[in-house]
Structure 1
Amino acid sequence: MSFFNKMLASVGIGAAEIDTHLEKTSYHPGEEIRGMVHIKGGNVEQKVDNIYIKVMTEYIREHDDKKVSESYAVAKFHVADSMTVRKGETLQIPFSFPLPLETPLTLSRQPVWIHTGLDIDNALDPNDRDFIEVTPHPFASIVLKAAQDLGFRFKGATCEYHPRLGRGTPFVQEIEFYPSPEFASRVKELEFIFSLEHNGIHVLVEVDRRGRGLSGWLEQSFDMDERQAWLSLSQSDLQRGTGYVADVLEDLILRQAR
C-alpha cells in the first residue's frame, strides 16, 4: 500500500498540498509582502528540496506577425530549505520580501500573481497561485496626479516586449493618456514608461503629435510624429509637490509637441 501511495503521490494524487496566505492583496512596488505558506502532508511522507515564491506577470510579444502572451517571473525568492513533510502533517512557514520595483501596475487587467512552489524529486511539484493588486508607488502617484492635473485622462496600459528599455525585465509597461483640452490640437496621445529607483523615478515621456499640414502628414506616414524624452525626478524634486512636477511635465510636453 505504501508503494502504491508513493506512486500516486508522484503524479499528484494524495501528495502534499500548499496554500499561501498573504497579509493583504494590494501592494505597491517596493512594499514588503508578508504571509504564510501552509503545507499539508499527503498520504505518504515526502522530502521537499526547496520552497520558493515567484512574482509573476505577463507581457505581449510579437511572433510570426502574431501577438502572443508570455509569462515572466519578475523575481524569485527562497522561502525554506529542504525538509521532510510527514503523512498528514501540517506546517506553517512565514515569509517576507519586497515587491520588486519592476513589477507592473495591475492597470487594464494586467495580471500579477504570487506563485508558490515546492520542489519534490520524482514527483509532480505542488504549487499555489494568488493574484494581487499592484498600485502606483508614491513617486509614480505624484507623476500620474500631475498628468491628471494637466487634464490628461487615462486611456489604457499594456506590457510590451522591449528588452532595450526594460531595466532588468524583457518588457516595459506603457501607460497611455488621452490629451487634455489644452493640448488636444497638438497632441493625439501621451504615454509614460516608469523606471523606479529607491531615491527617485525616471519617466520616458512619449508625445504622439497631431499632424498639421503637409509636414504633419509626412511625419505621420513615416511614423515620425512620436517624440520621446526622459524626465528624471529625484526624491527632493518629488517632495516639492504635484504642482512642481506638473509644471516640469507641461514644459516637456510643450517642447515635444512643437
Structure 2
Amino acid sequence: MSFFNKVFASVGIGAAKVDTKLERETVAPGEEIRGVVEIQGGNIEQTIDSIYLTIHTTYIKERDDKKYTNVGQVDKFKLTEPFTIHANERKEIPIAFRIPSDTPLTIGRTKVWVTTGLDIKNAVDPSDKDFIKVVPNRLMEAVLNGVSDLGFRLREADCEEAPYRLRRRLPFVQEFEFVPVSGLYRGRLDELELVFFPTSSDDMEILLQVDRRARGLASLFAEALEMDETNVRFRVSSADIPAIKQKIQSVINQYS
C-alpha cells in the first residue's frame, strides 16, 4: 500500500465515496423509504466501521432577541456492521428506513434532507446529502383541509425551538400560522396557530392557539398583555376524519 495514497485517503483524496439513491423523494411522516447506498472504493483498501443515515432539518432559535437558524437531527440509523472496501471496488447496499411520525413537513422555508455517511477511522468521513419532500399524511391533510374549509389561510409554517414544557422527542416544533380570510371567524380572530404532536400515523395531539381580535377597551388591554390568546389541546385520530372540520370548529368556538 502506497504511503502517500494512505495519507491522501486520510484527508479525503482518493478515498471511498458514497452515493445514496432513494426510490422516491416524496414521503409522508410514518412512511418507509427504500433505496440503495452505492460505495465506490478509492485508491486504497479501507475499513468502513459503519454506514449511518441521518435525517436533518433546520429550526429557528432565539437568543438575546436575535434569531438563529440551527440544524436539528430528526433521527439517525446505523445501516451496517464493519466491513472492508477494496481499492476500486464497488458495493451496493439495499436500505429501508421509516420517516418518523414527527418529521416536519417541507412547507414554507422548512427543508428536510437525508445524509448518508461512512464512518472511517483516522480519515475524513465521506458523506452524501439528499433532500426529500415531506408531505402531510392522511390525518394531517384532513386537519389542514378542515382549517382551510373554515375560512383560514396558511400564512406561515416554521420550525422553532420549543419551550421545555412543549418538548417531546425533538427540541423544536413545527408551527402552522393561519389567518381568517372568510367565513365565521373573519373579524373575530386575529390568527390561529397549530402544532401537531403525532403519536403515530393514525393518532395525534394538536395544540391550538386561538388569538382573539380585540374588542373594546378591556380587550385592547388584554391584547397588549398577550392575554387574548388561549391554548387548547385535543386529540384526533383517523376515525375523526369524516367529521374533522366539525371537531375543529367546536374547539375554536369554545375559545373564540
Normalising by the smaller structure, the TM-score range is over 0.9
- Structure 2 CA distance for aligned equivalents of residues 166 and 92 of structure 1: 38
* Other-structure match for 1:156: 156
Which residue matches 1:246?
245
Residue 211 of structure 1 is aligned with which of 204, 210, 214?
214
Give the unaligned 5+ runs of structure 2: none
Deviation at 1:247, TM superposition (A): 1.0
Q: How do 1:132-147 residues align onto structure 2 when only pairs under 5 Å count?
A: 132-147=132-147
Matches within 5 A, 1:19-168: 19-162=19-162, 163-168=164-169
User: Is contact 1:157–1:174 with CA below 8 Å preserved after alignment?
Assistant: yes
The 3-state SS of whatever aligns with 2:95 is strand
Structure 1 residue matching 2:233: 3-state secondary structure: strand
1:236 aligns with 2:239: yes
State the SS of the aligned residue for 1:132: strand
Aligned to 1:196: 198
Per-residue CA deviation, residues 85-109 of structure 1 (Å, 9 max, x unaligned), is 1110100011111100110000002
The CA deviation string for residues 176-198 of structure 1, in whole angstroms up to 9 with x for no partner, is: 11114221211011111001122
Give the length in aligned residue pairs.
Answer: 253
Identity %: 45
Contact between 1:108 and 1:156, CA under 8 Å: does it hold in 2?
A: yes
Q: TM-score, normalised by structure 1?
A: 0.95
In the alignment, residue 32 of structure 1 is paired with which amino acid? E
| Cα distance, 1:58 vs structure 2 | 1.0
Distance 2:234 2:177 in 1: 16
Paired letter, 1:214: L
CA-CA distance at 1:254 after TM superposition: 1.6
Residues of 2 paired with 1:140 and 1:14: CA distance? Answer: 46
Instruction: Say if 1:43 and 1:87, in contact at 8 Å, map to a contact too.
Output: yes
CA contact (8 A) 1:106 1:112 kept: yes
In 2, the alpha carbon distance for the partners of 1:126 and 1:160 equals 30
User: Aligned partners of 1:48, 1:71: CA distance in 2, in Å?
Assistant: 26
- Offset, 1:237: 2.1
Does the CA contact (< 8 Å) of 1:150 and 1:180 recur in 2?
Answer: no
2:226 is the alignment partner of 1:223 = yes
Counterpart of 1:109, as a letter, is R
The TM-score normalised by the length of structure 2 is 0.96
Aligned structure 1 segments of 4 or more residues deviating by more than 4 angstroms: none
Alpha-carbon distance in structure 1 between the residues aligned to 2:165 and 2:124: 36
Q: Deviations over 1:57-77 (max 9, x none)?
A: 111111232111111111111
Quick one: which amino acid aligns to residue 173 of structure 2?
A: V
Matching residue's letter, 1:196? P
Q: Which moved more, 1:99-108 or 1:191-200?
A: 191-200
